[in-house]
């Protein structure tokens, strides 16, 4: 009997599945009912492991058939054949299947059923709902005579809440399946983006925009999306049918069996990816390949391996860097091996897939183009394709390109699509994928890039090339370290935040529900100015409240979960978390670890604002206020509220909670704390010295101006606190301008009650000039470096590659059908395409300040004329930012090597209190290592090598300020004696050397010279005009002298035309270093504090 029992079980199991298949096929003239599916799912659950092979269907396949028949999944799982004991496990299995099928709504339904059927508590059961921000909606009566105002939740917030609810239900049924929940989380952000696109298109339709004129891009995109997903679904079915036909002898299979690459991606997702990629002007084949791989990995339960970093021999030795590169190559290969059937597509496959989806898009995507009929004066419209195919000749090759319809190109030039095209990512529930390439890392199922390119194809190519050369291993490793730090929502703080938020009060960075500041009184002076400022502040309050509402909703849905923040770089090399709404840059989140009491107390004193005393005094400050701290921790909202007066009230409260828990525990010194402690940097000491010295020098200046009767100085006397000028002093090193400094100071002045009705513009203007003047005097060395960086950028932005000059001249001659050796100034301007590029941690960084074009969509690979003014003003702060980023990355890697948990916000470094001393040593060591190398000397060498064959037209050096800056920096240009006589405008930087000249010149004809004269003068005939001036008695001698001077200047400038100087010959020398030794910061305990 024991031997026959398995056979009997097999027989019964086989008959049951045969009967189900008969019902499913319709052969029995009956269809499966919800009860049938409940029975079959239950049989799957109860079938022993050794007999599972006899079950021809999986949970996923059964669930798919349930959805095809449109049965309510709640009826299936609540059927009477399913017991209370089997129900929870069955719901979990079906939820996993729903995630695999990309059906988040089913996951939500199963979560609701699970919540009703189980008594197991969820963390959110006791957490109140978040009070939403409401907006006013005005509706008119049918006759238009009456208006009614109602309140409703804004669409974006409501959309977010609905999708977060699905994620919450998934946690109920799949609390331990983090991989499935992560997939659902990543899928949801695309669903949110699609619904937002649909909503915006509907709004535009309702108000009548776009029917024939002025249609919005989002409305077009939604129309394309609805048509394209249907077209793609039909196309894939047609391809499958053609592939199923037997191939004729001597012919290839249709489209290289493309259906296998397309069926795994939902038509909705395939459509969205196609539109996103084509609007961003990138190839669709690669993006679809990435999505295909992600779905294939999930289908086959493949977990991508984490990149484990060995602590030996360290990142900064030659062997360590080589090992790092080898580990990345191995990790990338491991990922590819794990998806052997999804190894890189061939170029043919990419082209075919990309060509297929783009063909479908071009077929369905239409726009309406309107124009004015000059004969009738009426507006006529015509539906046209949104995209068209054409050919271009580039460097002798015929290339096929896709261009935008003119009306679409014009709309793209005016409309910022970033918020529409890019999903707003959420934090991750699992550790991010290791970065192994420019677009391979971070999220598992959504495409993310290692750098935010700011639409710069050139910067993207720099990163790809540096990655292929193995030059950015430290950057990839640093991003991995930052992304691997686990976080959790601090629920004690969240509970207090939620209570304050729902009350509508404002506290700290929580804006109030109602902006309580009254309108400025009309009888006061400066009423219009104050009214404008009041209106702006009121709008800002609403905007801030909407932003905070997003953060609180997301934080609530992720309570109790361990979170990870994947990072990438901005164009300067600074690392930022990819999730925009909830991250440690803007919110008080906490990783795990232990504490050291002293540093926890110092941290609390810093947060309260007592951060200028020495460390012992800060500890004493906290110990003297333990009663206030305990009151804050035990009665945060009903007590005395000491924490509310802190500079950072919410972080202060979190530390009060932590300190209270530690001090009331059995062993305070052994208490396990999760509070991160900050060490804020001071950028090689400059900011500290500025903060200490700037105020006193400014105060002395104010005293002098008071004595001279300056009204602004009189009003400000004895009222300028450190807080008023702190931001300006701290941002000086980043190149803050007078305008920026004045706005910073005005904001602080308007916050002082005594100055609410004063002329804040006058006061801030005076104070900005005083502070910037004092800083320039105090830190002349830093100012010299800023001037050197600015001057270098000005020169680079004016340079043209030497080999490009004859090409441009030939193009000009062919276009004008002439023969000349002289290229006009306006044509030279269009050849000035050189951006400042420098290297940080092996990655070339491009300053992305190109001139804006009216229509820039047709070909992103064409270089744009650079904005020399922005290049010059932005390069110094961007370079300093890149040094900050380098120091942070080096510190992160060394902390990883030494086993420390690490997080950072630019130059504020975080770890657990018990590791502060160790991290402080690391910060100083890496800073010293960075600046012990000749940073500026190496930068100049890089410029000299990168731009060694670049030429600057002398006409672009005629500026008096530029010549003065070159002379001050010690630049000397070697010229012949004849050239020295001709180039009188540049005489202050010229040195005669007949043996060798740095100036090259082209041969010019008399016609060329006449053209040059017209270009620089703007006058058609100097001599005739001067004769008219002499004969005229209406103009006095001063006017005549002015005309003559203008003529002389024009002739002097004409001598500069057609002449060039090599960039490296005018690149200024690096300013001399002072006597400060960077090693001295090793002994300073306040360098980072």
Backbone angles phi, psi at 404, to 5 degrees: -85, 145
> CA-to-CA distance for 330 and 328, rounded, in angstroms?
5
Q: Is-contact 99 136, C-beta < 8 A? A: no
Encode burial over 319-351: b for 16+ CB neighbours within 10 A, e otherwise.
ebbebbbebbeebeeebeeebeebeebeeebbe
The token pair that represents 370 in the structure block: 């309107």
Catalytic residue among 680, 757, 759, 993: 680
d(CA 662, CA 668): 5
Extended beta strands in 652-809, E state? 676-680, 800-801
Cα torsion 141, 147, 153, 155 to 10°: value is 60
Marked catalytic residue, from 79, 480, 631, 907: 907
Buried b (16+ CB within 10 A) or exposed e, 497-536: bbebbeeeebbbebbbbebeeeebeeeeebeeebeebeee
Phi, psi (5° rounding) for residue 589?
-110, 165
SS3 category, 285: helix
End-to-end CA distance of the chain: 79
Tell me which residue has tokens 């941690």. 841
Report d(CA 781, CA 1070) in Å as an integer.
12
How distant, in Å, are the alpha carbons of 86, 182, 393, 842, 946 from that of 115? Answer: 15, 20, 64, 52, 64
Residue 758 C-alpha from the chain's centroid = 39
| Whether residue 680 lies in the annotated active site | yes
Give DSSP secondary structure letters for 508-547: TTB--SS--PPPPPTTSTTHHHHHHHHHHHHHHHHHHHHH
For residue 393, count CB atoms less than 10 angstroms from its CB and return exposed for 0-12, middle for 13-18, buried for 19 or more.
exposed
What is the distance between the alpha carbons of residues 713 and 771, in angstroms, rounded to a whole number?
13
Of 803, 1061, 872, which is closest to residue 952 (Cα–Cα)? 1061
| Residue 755 neighbours by CB distance under 10 Å | 19
Instruction: Identify the helix (H) or strand (E) that includes residue 953.
Output: strand 950-953
Phi/psi region, residue 1056 (left: phi>0; alpha: psi -120 to 50; beta: rest), is alpha
Residue 998 in contact with residue 974, Cβ under 8 Å? yes
- Residue 361's nearest CA partner among 381, 329, 386, 378 is 386
What distance in Å separates the CA atoms of residue 491 and residue 486, rounded to the nearest whole number? 16
CA distances, 697 to each of 190, 704, 715 (Å): 55, 11, 18
How many H-runs (helices) and E-runs (strands) does the chain carry?
41, 23
Q: Is 1031 a catalytic residue?
A: no
Token pair belonging to 1062: 């090599």
Report which of 783, 786, 777, 606 is spatially closest to residue 694, judged by C-alpha positions.
777
Known catalytic residue at 830: no
Pairing of β 575-577 and β 440-442: unpaired
Side-chain-side CA neighbours of 837 within 13 Å: the count stands at 19
Distances in Å between the Cα of 763 and the Cα atoms of 535, 972, 1068 are 21, 43, 38
Integer Cα distance of 761 and 765 in angstroms: 6
Which residue among 726, 958, 1047, 1051 is the active-site one? 726
Distance CA(823)–CA(318), nearest Å, equals: 49
Q: Which residues are catalytic?
A: 680, 726, 907
């Amino acid at each position: 009997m024991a031997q026959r029992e398995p056979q009997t079980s097999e027989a019964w199991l086989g008959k049951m599945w045969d009967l189900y298949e008969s019902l499913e096929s319709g052969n029995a003239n009956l269809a499966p009912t919800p009860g049938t599916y409940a029975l079959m799912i239950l049989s799957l659950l109860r079938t022993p492991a050794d007999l599972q092979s006899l079950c021809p269907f999986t949970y996923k396949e059964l669930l798919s058939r349930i959805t095809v028949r449109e049965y309510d999944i709640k009826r299936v799982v609540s059927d009477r054949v399913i017991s209370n004991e089997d129900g929870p496990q069955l719901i979990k299995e079906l939820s996993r299947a729903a995630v695999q099928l990309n059906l988040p709504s089913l996951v939500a339904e199963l979560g609701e059923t699970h919540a009703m059927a189980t008594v197991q508590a969820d963390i959110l059961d006791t957490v109140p709902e978040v009070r939403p921000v409401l907006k006013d909606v005005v509706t008119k009566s049918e006759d238009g005579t009456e208006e009614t105002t109602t309140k409703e939740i804004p669409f974006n917030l409501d959309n977010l809440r609905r999708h977060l609810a699905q994620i919450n239900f998934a946690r109920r049924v799949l609390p331990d399946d983090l991989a499935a929940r992560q997939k659902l989380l990543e899928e949801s952000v695309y669903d949110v983006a699609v619904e937002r696109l649909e909503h915006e298109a509907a709004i535009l339709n309702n108000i009548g925009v776009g029917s024939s004129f002025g249609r919005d891009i989002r409305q077009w995109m939604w129309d394309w999306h609805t048509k394209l997903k249907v077209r793609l679904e039909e196309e894939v079915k047609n391809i499958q049918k053609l592939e199923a036909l037997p191939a004729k002898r001597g012919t290839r299979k249709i489209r290289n069996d493309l259906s296998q690459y397309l069926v795994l991606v939902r038509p909705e997702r395939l459509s969205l990816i196609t539109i996103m990629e084509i609007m961003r002007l990138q190839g669709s084949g690669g993006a679809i390949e990435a999505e295909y791989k992600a779905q294939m990995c999930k289908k086959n339960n493949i977990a991508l391996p984490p990149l484990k970093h060995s602590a030996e021999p360290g990142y900064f030795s030659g062997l360590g860097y080589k090992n790092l590169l080898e580990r990345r190559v191995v990790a990338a290969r491991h990922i590819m091996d794990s998806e052997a059937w999804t190894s890189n597509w061939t170029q043919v496959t990419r082209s075919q897939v990309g060509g297929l989806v783009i063909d479908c898009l071009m077929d369905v995507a239409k726009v309406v183009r309107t124009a004015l009929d000059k004969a009738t004066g009426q507006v006529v419209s015509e539906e046209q394709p949104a995209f068209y195919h054409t050919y271009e000749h580039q460097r002798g090759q015929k290339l096929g390109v896709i261009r935008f319809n003119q009306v679409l190109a014009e709309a793209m030039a005016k409309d910022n699509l970033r918020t529409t095209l890019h999903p707003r990512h959420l934090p991750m529930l699992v550790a991010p994928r290791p970065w192994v390439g420019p677009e391979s890392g971070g999220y598992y199922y959504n495409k993310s890039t290692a750098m935010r390119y700011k639409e710069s194809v050139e910067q993207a190519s720099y990163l790809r090339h540096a990655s292929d050369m193995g030059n950015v291993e430290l950057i990839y490793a640093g991003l991995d370290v930052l992304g691997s730090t686990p976080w959790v929502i601090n629920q004690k703080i969240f509970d207090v935040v939620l209570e304050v938020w729902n009350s509508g009060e404002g506290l700290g960075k929580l804006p109030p529900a109602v902006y309580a500041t009254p309108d400025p009184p009309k009888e006061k002076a400066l009423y219009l100015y104050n009214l404008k400022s009041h209106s702006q502040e009121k709008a800002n309050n609403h905007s801030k409240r909407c932003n905070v509402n997003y953060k609180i909703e997301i934080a609530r849905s992720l309570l109790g979960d361990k979170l990870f923040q994947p990072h990438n770089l901005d164009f300067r090399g600074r690392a930022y978390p990819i999730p925009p709404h909830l991250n440690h840059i803007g919110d008080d989140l906490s990783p795990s670890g232990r504490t050291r009491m002293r540093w926890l107390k110092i941290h609390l004193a810093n947060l309260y604002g007592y951060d200028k005393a020495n460390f012992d005094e800060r500890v004493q400050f906290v110990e003297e206020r333990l009663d206030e701290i305990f009151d804050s921790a035990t009665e945060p909202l009903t007590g005395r509220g000491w924490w509310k007066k802190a500079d950072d009230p919410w972080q202060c409260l979190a530390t009060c909670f932590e300190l209270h828990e530690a001090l009331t525990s059995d062993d305070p010194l052994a208490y396990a704390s999760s509070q991160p402690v900050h060490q804020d940097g001071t950028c090689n000491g400059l900011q500290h010295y500025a903060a200490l010295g700037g105020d006193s020098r400014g105060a002395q200046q104010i005293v002098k101006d008071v004595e001279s009767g300056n009204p602004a100085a009189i009003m400000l006397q004895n009222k300028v606190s450190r807080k008023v000028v702190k931001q300006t002093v701290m941002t000086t090193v980043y190149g803050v301008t007078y305008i920026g400094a004045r706005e910073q100071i005005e904001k602080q002045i308007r916050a002082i009650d005594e100055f609410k009705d004063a002329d804040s513009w006058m006061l801030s203007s005076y104070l900005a000039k005083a502070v910037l003047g004092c800083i320039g005097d105090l830190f002349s060395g830093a100012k010299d470096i800023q001037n050197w960086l600015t001057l270098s950028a000005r020169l680079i932005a004016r340079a043209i590659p030497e080999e490009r000059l004859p090409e441009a001249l030939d193009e000009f001659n062919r276009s004008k059908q002439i023969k000349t050796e002289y290229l006009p100034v306006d044509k030279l301007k269009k050849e000035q395409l050189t951006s400042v590029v420098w290297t940080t941690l092996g990655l070339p960084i491009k300053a992305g300040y190109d001139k804006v074009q009216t229509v820039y969509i047709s070909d992103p690979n064409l270089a744009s004329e650079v904005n020399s003014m922005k290049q010059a003003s932005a390069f110094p702060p961007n370079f300093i930012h890149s040094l900050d980023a380098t120091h942070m990355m080096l510190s992160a890697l060394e902390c990883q090597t030494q086993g420390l948990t690490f997080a950072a916000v630019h130059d504020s470094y975080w770890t657990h209190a018990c590791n502060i001393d160790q991290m402080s040593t690391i910060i100083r060591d890496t800073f010293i290592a960075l600046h012990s190398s000749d940073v500026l000397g190496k930068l100049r060498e890089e410029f000299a090598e990168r731009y060694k064959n670049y030429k600057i037209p002398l006409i672009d050096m005629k500026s008096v300020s530029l010549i003065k800056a070159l002379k001050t920096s010690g630049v000397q240009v070697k010229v012949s004696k004849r050239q020295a006589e001709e180039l009188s405008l540049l005489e202050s930087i010229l040195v005669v050397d007949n043996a060798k000249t740095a100036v090259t010149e082209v041969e010019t004809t008399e016609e060329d010279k006449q053209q040059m004269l017209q270009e620089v003068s703007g006058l058609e005939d100097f001599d005739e005009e001067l004769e008219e001036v002499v004969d005229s008695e209406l103009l006095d001698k001063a006017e005549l002298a002015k005309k003559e001077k203008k003529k002389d200047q024009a002739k002097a400038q004409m001598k500069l035309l057609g002449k060039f100087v090599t960039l490296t010959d005018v690149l200024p020398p690096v300013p001399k270093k002072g006597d400060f030794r960077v090693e001295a910061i090793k002994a300073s305990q306040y360098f980072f504090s």
